Amino acid sequence: MGMTVPSATESDQILSKKHAGYYAVELVKDGMVVGLGTGSTVFYAMEILAEKIKNGMKIVGIPTSYQAECRARAYGIPLATLHDYTELDIAIDGADQIDPKGNLIKGRGAAQTQERCVASACRLFVVVADASKMTSQLSAPVPIEVIASAATLAAKRLREMNGNPQVREGVKKDGPVITDNGNWIIDCTFAKITDPLALEIQINNIPGVLSCGIFAEFTGKSKIIIGNRESAEIMLH
């Protein structure tokens, strides 16, 4: 079976995501343990991984969410957990915003805590996105996973940091979004994020916070792949 080629009639954004996801799969080799991120761009990568598995490639996937797990199972990708593998060869994940140094904001899908664990465990962290995710400076709301009983305290601490925190409300569900880990998500907007790593550390040190969506500590092992309508290219490695 040959590699699937995106249709020319598809939208520019879909084509860009597919090209980025497909490019990332070329970095996956037989026998690797592969972190599987959450989101549409990574799912395009899973499509090609499924084809390669049908053609004999042996890999093991480590999903970062129930959504990623369900999609991987539907594609027939063998799965394990971080209990089984504490070191991964590669992880493929998306991002909501990327700055020129490779700092990220993630967590629109409320999976950033498990995504951070997988990113920490992998040797190579491959970020796939379309050009709309690029920005000169991080500015998107920062998703923050917090235990429910500490949400009010965390919001107070975030306001003291000049943030504007809002508990994320569910869609087709009354009340807060509940993460795969059973916690709440606070989306916090900051007027300016001049030092992503410092802000990440400060937020993650708030009592009750599991992790925030700023990913600034993995730039040393990151490869950023940006897709466009015709192909994909490495922005940073």
Per run of 10 residues, the mean pLDDT along the chain (length 237 residues) is: 53 89 94 95 94 96 97 97 98 96 96 98 96 94 98 98 97 94 98 96 98 97 91 81
Please report the pLDDT score of residue 232 as a whole number. 87
Q: Give the closest residue to 185 by CA, choosing from 219, 218, 158.
A: 158
Please report the pLDDT score of residue 12 as a whole number. 84
Instruction: Show the tokens assigned to 217.
Output: 């500590």
Tell me, which fold does domain 142-213 have in CATH?
Alpha-Beta Plaits (3.30.70)
The catalytic position among 10, 69, 87, 115 is 115
The CATH 3.40.50.1360 domain(s) of the chain lie at: 12-133+217-236
Please report the pLDDT score of residue 1 as a whole number. 39
Dihedral angle of Cα 125, 128, 131, 132, to the nearest 10 degrees: -100
Catalytic residue status for 217: no
The CATH 3.30.70.260 domain(s) of the chain lie at: 142-213
What's domain 12-133+217-236's architecture? Answer: 3-Layer(aba) Sandwich (3.40)
Phi-psi region of 103 (alpha: psi -120 to 50; beta: other; left: phi over 0): beta
Is the separation of the CB atoms in 16 and 228 below 8 Å?
yes
Please report the pLDDT score of residue 129 as a whole number. 94
Question: Half-sphere exposure of 33 toward its Cβ, with a 13 Å CA cutoff?
Answer: 16
Residue type, 217: E
Please report the pLDDT score of residue 2 as a whole number. 44
Please report the pLDDT score of residue 235 as a whole number. 84
